Amino acid sequence: MSAKSETGPPVAPQNERNVNALFRAMHTATAAESDAQARLDTLTRVIAGHIVADVCSIYIRRPGDFFELYASEGLKPEAVHVTRLHMSEGLVGHVARRQEPLVTAEAPLHPDFVYRPETGEEKLHSFLGVPLIRAAKVLGVLVLQNKVPRIYTDEEIGAALAVAGLLAEIAASGELLGKEETATVSEVLRLPDRLVGTPVVSGVAFGRAVLHDAPLAHHKSFAADKGAELERLEDGLQSVRKSVDDLLADEGLSGVSREVLEAYRLFAYDRGWKERLRTHVFAGLTAEAAVERVKAENRARLSQARDPYLRERLHDLDDLSHRLLRHLSGEAEARPRALTEPSIIVAHSMGPADLLEYDRSFVKGLVLVEASEVSHAAIVARALEIPMVSGADGALERIFDGDRVAIDGEAGEINIRPTDDVFEAYRVRRELQSKRQAQFAAERDLPTVTRDGVEVELYMNAGLAIDMPHLETTGAKGVGLFRTELQFLIGDQLPRPAAQEKLYAGILKDAGGRPVVFRTADLGGDKAAAYMRGAAEGNPAMGWRGLRLSVDRPGLMRPQLRALLAAAAPGELNIMFPMVTLVSEIEAARALLDREIALRRRRGRPLPERIRVGAMIETPAAAWRAGEIARAVDFVSIGGNDLAQFYFAADRESPAMQRRYDPINAGFLAFLQTVIERVAETGRPLTYCGEQAADPLMATALIGIGVRRFSLPATAVGWFRRLVRGLDAGLFSEWLTTELAANRRDLRDAVRARLEHLGAPLPEGR
Ligand code: PEP
Ligand code: MG
């Protein structure tokens, strides 16, 4: 897209050249004007001339959601500052309300058209209106009109959008309007706002927003001296490159991926990036504005990409832009920012190390634009009990650094600059939550036995050393599922056997004699480590993952088994295999284990005194043969997350599928019941470790169909114990059996009603 020359102006495609020429003209015209009104008048003239419109008008948002005609080329001058349209009126209101362009060849025929005689627009036919949007708020409307009924071309619409984008930017910066209007604009930008994202870690949190990559102090959009600006850009690029080179030169490079940095370095030296930046500076933008513009272009292009690799690239490019902006502004890169008050960290995406670098006592919540429930940031946030919401599109545009923000990680709500009432409601909710947590902690040693004497054992899920203190605080009996793959995912390379052994030994030590079930690395599928990217699979969830991958790659599994044997010796070792499909896979894995045991014995190394092997039932094939699978091992665990995904044929990673099929479904529960019965016949113990059990209604339904042992997220253990203690399992089970036989459709509501009837203590809001 750009020329090779380092000295002459780079060459951009025709339409981009046109827009750049227009920007240049806008710059020249406005630079000459010191008065805000004169600036606006000149701008409308320049824009009308470039887009060949008979009329170009700029409407600016005023208090009370009115849009006032501030400048016009082509409408009667006496209409300026007289014509005002409310957000609910006219085509201008239409554009503002919908926040999207409106194109029509016959404006008077449009149902929203209103005629204002003072404008003299009766002779006008075609209309192109574009909103001036900033932080998801409409600050004004740019209108182009022509006397002939014509359809504006895509190129013209694109140019109008680009101009409107720039106008919004400079309106917000105070470079376009007078003092009073700028004040209104900032007021509009700071109205309370609300976003709903995906709940990831529950809990209510509030504090001041800290933008992880905070926008820098305001910069000008147009440059006064192009030559000087090009020099600044060059200097900025040089220092960014040097900073990345310096990072790479660091021998220690602990915790930071060399491989990732190498890739990052390539971007820093990318000629295409540099040329695009130069193109914009040649067009008259400041270096900072050019960086923002290229960043927006990249974002538009790459955010559509489905390929996760390309999306990751986007994060790198964003990060690089931020670095460049920091260098341009001369701000030293003090990272992480020191927090001084309760804060909500807001970022596009974030690695676990970044999050851990902040002072934990001040990190109260996390808002990410892009992160799944199994993302590394989510895993760390969950372990640290930091409420988190993801999928918050627009968060970075709508939340300003320092804004008051309240989030509810259970509902996925993000309240930006909430009113005092909303803030107070959140404070009360938070207080209740802390009280409840304190109560749960006080109950942690109470037996988990139902009213009718049925014992339900509660274990917790874990995956990192930082999860382990929860054993003590929740009173869980042990770790029912330790996801060893997290260590593989967080690092930038395959963890060395010594590092694996160290982690496992530490976990067993922290468990203080309580049992820990180590699941061998469940890699592949959505949990592909960056360093082991293989051939792309159309359906990775059903691809080369879990036990399949492990038995095909003994080089991966054997060192892990070795590390587990060494860490657990001479105590007890519980190993569990994920994603089992056939008994033969268990046999293959067992053979690898036996080889490792024999090897240790031959070498005279100590062995665990007891080794128990388990299998996860996560595929319909294993569920159908649950008895046979159970006989091949010492214990089994139902991985409800995967099993439900395959039962309903609904991708657990797909946001569209996430809440589509309720696991409290007569078919699914009856299916699970069969598995439970088949396993019970073998006498092998069974645990349920899918996250669905963290839903109290599902948890009760599972107890109802005979599950007696659970492994849950630590945050669920407290209320689960209380629920168990308040339940009459016999009565509930009897009722549920009849309902399952009747194949009830609205089972969730029925379960809720039944529990209320039985007086079971359901956590609030469920
Ligand atoms: C499951 O599938 O239910 C499970 C516990 O494993 P994971 O969520 O790690 O796939
Ligand atoms: Mg699973």
Ligand 1 closest atom vs CA 691: 3
Mark whether 199 and 302 lie in a shared domain. Answer: yes
The CATH number given to whatever domain includes residue 277 is 1.10.274.10
**Which structure tokens are listed for 267?**
């971007």
Ligand 1 closest atom vs CA 525: 10
Mark whether 360 and 241 lie in a shared domain. Answer: yes
**Which structure tokens are listed for 271?**
């000629």
Mark whether 465 and 427 lie in a shared domain. Answer: no
Higher-pLDDT residue of 437, 455: 455
Helix (H, G, I), strand (E, B) or coil at 410: coil
Mark whether 718 and 704 lie in a shared domain. Answer: yes
In a domain, 5, yes or no: no
pLDDT the model gives residue 358:
80
Cβ within 8 Å of residue 582, ≥6 positions away: 621, 622
pLDDT tens string 557-572: 999 999 999 999 999 9
Angle (CA) 200-201-203 rounded to 5° is: 130
pLDDT the model gives residue 171:
83
> Pocket of ligand 1, candidates 488, 519, 581, 642: which has the most ligand atoms within 8 Å of its Cβ, to mutate?
642
Phi, psi of 153 (to 5 degrees): -75, 165
Can you tell me the mean pLDDT for 215-228?
75
Residue 373 CA to residue 199 CA, distance in Å, equals 8
Residue 704 CA to residue 624 CA, distance in Å, equals 21
pLDDT the model gives residue 422:
85
In a domain, 714, yes or no: yes
Domain final residue, candidates 170, 189, 208: 189
In a domain, 498, yes or no: yes
**Is residue 192 reached through a cis peptide bond, with omega within 30 degrees of 0 on the bond before it?**
no
Q: Computed over its alpha carbons, how large is the radius of gyration of the chain?
A: 31
pLDDT the model gives residue 478:
98
Q: Of 179-183, 253-257, 542-546, 718-722, which has the strongest mean pLDDT?
A: 718-722
For residue 695, the CA-to-ligand 2 centroid distance in Å is 17
Can you tell me the mean pLDDT for 120-137?
89
Average per-residue pLDDT in the chain? 86
Can you tell me the mean pLDDT for 277-295?
87
Query: Is there a contact between 482 and 463 (Cβ–Cβ < 8 Å)?
Result: yes
Query: Which range of residues forms the domain containing residue 360?
Result: 194-431
Helix (H, G, I), strand (E, B) or coil at 577: strand
Alpha helices in 283-394 (DSSP H): 287-302, 308-329, 352-357, 376-383
Query: Is there a contact between 448 and 722 (Cβ–Cβ < 8 Å)?
Result: no
Mark whether 351 and 272 lie in a shared domain. Answer: yes
Mark whether 180 and 226 lie in a shared domain. Answer: no
**Band of residue 310 on the pLDDT scale cut at 50, 70, 90:** low
Ligand 1 closest atom vs CA 639: 3
Phi, psi of 562 (to 5 degrees): -60, -45
Residue 729 CA to residue 707 CA, distance in Å, equals 11
pLDDT the model gives residue 513:
96
Pocket of ligand 1 contains residue 522 by CB under 6 Å: yes
Strand order of the β-sheet with 388-390 is: 193-196, 413-416, 404-408, 204-211, 343-347, 363-368, 388-390, 198-201
pLDDT tens string 463-506: 878 788 889 989 999 999 999 988 887 666 788 999 999 999 99
Mark whether 100 and 229 lie in a shared domain. Answer: no
For residue 358, the CA-to-ligand 1 centroid distance in Å is 29
In a domain, 222, yes or no: yes
**Band of residue 205 on the pLDDT scale cut at 50, 70, 90:** very high
Element (H, E) at 225: none
Query: Is there a contact between 100 and 131 (Cβ–Cβ < 8 Å)?
Result: yes
Pocket of ligand 1 contains residue 641 by CB under 6 Å: yes
For atom 9 of ligand 1, the residue with the nearest CA is: 483
For residue 532, the CA-to-ligand 1 centroid distance in Å is 20
The dihedral sign for the CA sequence 102, 105, 109, 115: positive
Show the beta-strand stretches assigned E in 371-478. Answer: 388-390, 404-408, 413-416, 457-462
**Which structure tokens are listed for 758?**
């039985």
Percentage of the chain beyond pLDDT 70 is 88
Mark whether 75 and 204 lie in a shared domain. Answer: no
Residues within 5 Å of ion ligand 2 by Cβ? 618, 639, 642
Whether pLDDT at 733 is above 60: yes
pLDDT the model gives residue 11:
46
Whether pLDDT at 458 is above 90: yes
Of residues 384, 410, 443, 466, the one with CA closest to residue 458: 443
Of residues 273, 282, 249, the one with CA closest to residue 324: 273
pLDDT the model gives residue 305:
57
Alpha helices in 250-286 (DSSP H): 258-268, 271-282
Helix (H, G, I), strand (E, B) or coil at 57: strand
Can you tell me the mean pLDDT for 257-281?
75
Mark whether 273 and 378 lie in a shared domain. Answer: yes
Residue 185 CA to residue 664 CA, distance in Å, equals 49
In a domain, 7, yes or no: no
Which region, left, alpha or beta, applies to residue 336 given φ > 0 means left and ψ of -120 to 50 means alpha? Answer: beta
Domain final residue, candidates 189, 205, 234: 189
Q: How far is CA 673 from the centre of its chain?
A: 35
Residue with tokens 């008979």: 54
Mark whether 210 and 92 lie in a shared domain. Answer: no
For residue 686, the CA-to-ligand 1 centroid distance in Å is 15
Whether pLDDT at 366 is above 90: yes
**Which structure tokens are listed for 86?**
């409310």
For residue 390, the CA-to-ligand 2 centroid distance in Å is 21
**Which structure tokens are listed for 310?**
């390309």
Helix (H, G, I), strand (E, B) or coil at 501: helix
Whether pLDDT at 282 is above 90: no
Can you tell me the mean pLDDT for 316-343?
75
Q: How far is CA 175 from the centre of its chain?
A: 34
Residue 641 CA to residue 563 CA, distance in Å, equals 27
Ligand 1 closest atom vs CA 711: 5
In a domain, 261, yes or no: yes
For residue 619, the CA-to-ligand 2 centroid distance in Å is 9
Crossing angle of the two packed helices 154-173 and 36-51, in degrees rounded to 10: 170
Phi, psi of 349 (to 5 degrees): -150, 165
pLDDT the model gives residue 218:
61
Of residues 644, 627, 645, the one with CA closest to residue 683: 627
Of 141-150, 498-507, 757-766, which gets the smallest average pLDDT?
757-766
Report the residue count for the chain: 766
pLDDT the model gives residue 12:
45
pLDDT the model gives residue 764:
63
**Which structure tokens are listed for 716?**
């669920």
Whether pLDDT at 69 is above 70: yes
Can you tell me the mean pLDDT for 141-145?
95
Higher-pLDDT residue of 407, 213: 407
For atom 6 of ligand 1, the residue with the nearest CA is: 639
Pocket of ligand 1 contains residue 475 by CB under 6 Å: no
Whether pLDDT at 214 is above 70: no
Domain final residue, candidates 173, 189, 205: 189
Whether pLDDT at 130 is above 60: yes
In a domain, 438, yes or no: no
Residue 46 CA to residue 462 CA, distance in Å, equals 63
Mark whether 163 and 251 lie in a shared domain. Answer: no
**Which structure tokens are listed for 763?**
């956590």
Of residues 406, 416, 437, 421, the one with CA closest to residue 204: 406
Of 370-379, 413-422, 677-686, which gets the smallest average pLDDT?
370-379
Active site residues: 376, 689
The CATH number given to whatever domain includes residue 603 is 3.20.20.60
**Which structure tokens are listed for 746?**
């609205």
Whether pLDDT at 320 is above 90: no
- Number of Cβ within 10 Å of residue 342's Cβ equals 14
Pocket of ligand 1 contains residue 275 by CB under 6 Å: no
**Band of residue 667 on the pLDDT scale cut at 50, 70, 90:** very high
CA distances to 158, 237, 382, 521, 654 from 414, rounded to whole Å, are: 32, 36, 18, 35, 22
The CATH number given to whatever domain includes residue 104 is 3.30.450.40
Percentage of the chain beyond pLDDT 90 is 49
Whether pLDDT at 10 is above 60: no
Query: Is there a contact between 54 and 74 (Cβ–Cβ < 8 Å)?
Result: yes
> Pocket of ligand 1, candidates 618, 646, 695, 698: which has the most ligand atoms within 8 Å of its Cβ, to mutate?
618
Query: Is there a contact between 413 and 194 (Cβ–Cβ < 8 Å)?
Result: yes
Show the beta-strand stretches assigned E in 80-239. Answer: 84-86, 102-104, 126-134, 137-146, 193-196, 198-201, 204-211
Q: What residues are paired with 646 via a beta bridge?
A: none
Phi, psi of 152 (to 5 degrees): -70, 140
Query: Is there a contact between 18 and 36 (Cβ–Cβ < 8 Å)?
Result: no
Q: What residues are paired with 251 via a beta bridge?
A: none
DSSP state of 413: E
Which region, left, alpha or beta, applies to residue 358 given φ > 0 means left and ψ of -120 to 50 means alpha? Answer: beta
Pocket of ligand 1 contains residue 689 by CB under 6 Å: yes
Strand order of the β-sheet with 137-146 is: 84-86, 66-73, 55-62, 137-146, 126-134, 102-104
Can you tell me the mean pLDDT for 43-60?
91
pLDDT tens string 73-91: 999 999 999 999 999 999 9
Count the domains in the chain. Answer: 3
Long-range CB contacts (within 8 A, 24+) of 230-233: 230/278, 230/281, 230/282, 232/287, 232/328, 233/277, 233/278, 233/281, 233/287, 233/290, 233/328
Record the pTM: 0.65
Pocket of ligand 1 contains residue 696 by CB under 6 Å: no
In a domain, 702, yes or no: yes
Mark whether 380 and 468 lie in a shared domain. Answer: no
For atom 8 of ligand 1, the residue with the nearest CA is: 641
> Pocket of ligand 1, candidates 375, 483, 487: which has the most ligand atoms within 8 Å of its Cβ, to mutate?
483
**Which structure tokens are listed for 61?**
């948002």
Can you tell me the mean pLDDT for 588-602?
97
DSSP codes of every residue in 640-654:
HHHHHHHHTT--TT-
Residue type, 616: M
